[in-house]
């Protein structure tokens, strides 16, 4: 079987970009009820209010007045990062920022609920995938070999 590591890296880059962007956009869609109403099967929040309440639980060390801003900032960051991932722009920086955001989510979830939820939701795996994408994006691309 012919092995082409450069092709595998290209496929991995695209797969990681799409998977990370889809994860971010799916979570944002849930906050606005696009996956269903609160309490529907498979729906985490179903509306903005439950998401803000969840943000407050994750960030219980912050004053309550800050929580809506934190929820909005997290949502904006996910939308921006998803757009940049889909566009393939500033890929290394975008991947590193995605890893940092996912790392913050994993840390907050672990601090609030213990390690099981971020493991069950693959937050650590997504953060590691973002780091892998940053590593791949930072590698110089070699031109195709002449036949």
User: Residue 28: its pLDDT value, please?
Assistant: 98
Residue pLDDT, tens place only, 18-36? 999 999 999 999 999 999 9
The pLDDT score that the predictor gives to residue 98 is 98
For residue 105, give the H/E element and its range: helix 91-113
At residue 45, what are phi and psi to the nearest 5 degrees?
-125, -50
User: What per-residue confidence (pLDDT) applies to 11?
Assistant: 93
In which band, very low, low, confident or very high, does the pLDDT at 47 lie, cut at 50, 70 and 90? very high
Nearest C-alpha neighbor of 97 from the set 124, 122, 125, 131: 131
Q: Calculate the alpha carbon distances from 75 to 11, 20, 145 in Å.
A: 28, 14, 43
Q: Is the pLDDT of residue 57 over 90?
A: yes
Residue 83 confidence (pLDDT) above 50? yes
Give the Å distances, CA to CA, from 68 to 33, 57, 78. Answer: 17, 12, 15
Per-residue pLDDT band at 139 (split at 50, 70, 90): confident
Q: What is the pLDDT of residue 140?
A: 66
d(CA 31, CA 54): 11
Helix axis angle, 48-58 relative to 91-113, nearest 10°?
70
């Amino acid at each position: 079987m012919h092995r082409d590591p450069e092709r595998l890296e290209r496929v991995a880059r695209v797969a990681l970009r799409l998977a990370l962007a889809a994860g971010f956009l799916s979570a944002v869609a849930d906050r606005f009820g696009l996956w269903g109403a609160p309490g529907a099967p498979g729906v985490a929040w179903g509306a903005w209010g439950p998401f803000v309440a969840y943000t407050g639980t994750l960030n219980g060390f912050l004053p309550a007045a800050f929580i809506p801003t934190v929820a909005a900032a997290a949502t904006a960051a996910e939308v921006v990062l998803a757009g940049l991932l889909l566009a393939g722009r500033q890929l290394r920086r975008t991947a590193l920022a995605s890893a940092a955001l996912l790392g913050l989510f994993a840390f907050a979830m672990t601090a609030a609920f213990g390690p099981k939820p971020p493991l069950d939701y693959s937050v650590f795996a997504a953060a590691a995938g973002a780091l892998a994408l940053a590593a791949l994006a930072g590698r110089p691309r070699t031109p195709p070999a002449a036949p």
